[in-house]
Structure 1
């Protein structure tokens, strides 16, 4: 798909949509047929493969010619290997990116992926084992960040899992326009997995999207996972170039103990209840504080008490450290019509339209007056960053039609047929 530009919609049917496109470097006009795999039966997918194989061998001036075909997971795998390579280099130098998201990924010629925007990056010294500053984009934040707990390099790996999930499914693992509901989803809800995702890719994402950071798939095991093994190019670095105790090496028991101790100390210094969590609890508190009439003690209440105690004793999702291959199977559903509308209640100066946010009169605007989205809202401040870098030979992944952006709902997890237009 790197060799084509998507121009405009020219038709649609029950199985997909056709767009007018142009082949890069030659200017040849083509038709791009996008067929979603999500929700299709196994028989439908088999018939689609047969159609592709038949058309691949047809070469007649009176029959439309198929030029190329693509499958999303293979495209995602190529991008995944390059992002893993980029993070391995950063983490080997004890550097955290802290703002991994599609907008900060560029695609250059030949499908080369480049990670950009290091405005929130942090180089950690040997004395710094965990961080507490909360910066980034909520949709791609790890559970420990949205709870404002101490975190380390594994937060970048969670964000990587969110990006790859979005490239395949079409939406992030947890998606809503309410920042309060988003925090609740990230902390408590399980990830929903599509049936058409391969077992290898699913296992890889389950490892990255493990809520407990101590059970998350990390270095060096990440490099050896079958989904990216032998596809990741690790930059050669001499021992003199690398700092002591790089994050890409397996930590010793002493290092693990020191990190846990630092996490506990940092957590004890944090105020009781985080900014976002205090607001969440404030919304839930009135329901529990409603006055109740005093009732005589009955057998019915006595019988209900053990059940209440049982519910209170259940651990939260972030406290569980189950391996990622034991996650419950849940099928994702399209979220276009399920976007919540309560963002306006929490931020009255904005008006929500799908994933766009339009400022009303009296509300603050960005420096350039552009619309803002939930992906650009930080937990500690509402002002969005608009000084995103550009690349002469690449485009932002957000603007790349196959992956995300305006075509996201139409193109992601699609199988693609590219044909000439007469």
Structure 2
């Protein structure tokens, strides 16, 4: 699947997986952590790489890799995302990294991956996040094929709530796809990978960068128009189409063919779906963002669609509805790339030179410390 993100001028085309590992020569990795202000854990100790034991490889990409790690004191398991600075070659790519870090900091929701710590060395950036053990929704779709409408409705409801939350934080996601939806140990979703997101400021709710994955990208983005968070509802519709049919609307099409669909050709929706599902997909996959479902009142319009008439969204948000995928009795790491999981080496990959962008200002983050400070404010005020 082709992931793209570029602005006017020369195109910058990124790989489909935003964290693909590069081959690097070895060097001593005993580097001093760079930070603009003190970074401490709940025991007052500065957070650093030495406090984590690396257990398993979980994923890889163009900037680095993801590993399962364990904190040596608390014994808690985390997913550690390692980004190699030298692989972050352009200012645009650097902005993607900083955006993901910022989105993870400002969000706090059941259906969004949680960031606990962030720190950096001279050559790498480290994000310590919650470990989501159920793997990617992409893996489950690939394993089991298309979903029944009943199963799809559950996950569609959780994803809808997650997107609604992001929009209320003035965040345009721009890269919703099965690879960016994780399932936790119970089978609930977690949205992840926010590098292509845009954090909007009041008075600036528009975007113009061509960002996303071609198989799911909204027409207004493809043709280079200014667009709003309504682009996420097209992508949401493309995702639901994928879940119900087994492939996204633009699957294996050329860029020219995708442009034809974006400017005039209608997407065919299978007639084996229910009337409510067909109507939902047609309204979400409307090329005109003003007429698209969600174009006027955002997520509220979708909550009210007849397809979701029997869904209790409050119970869904509180995770009181049991997921349709049974995860409890599955063997550990079943839903991850087994070639990566079985790799004997789980050491942090050394690099042989300093990154081009050595300083990522305000990258350091300590969720435990901020939570403690917030609770003190509640007590003292």
Judge same fold: TM > 0.5, yes or no: no
State TM-score, norm by structure 2. Answer: 0.43
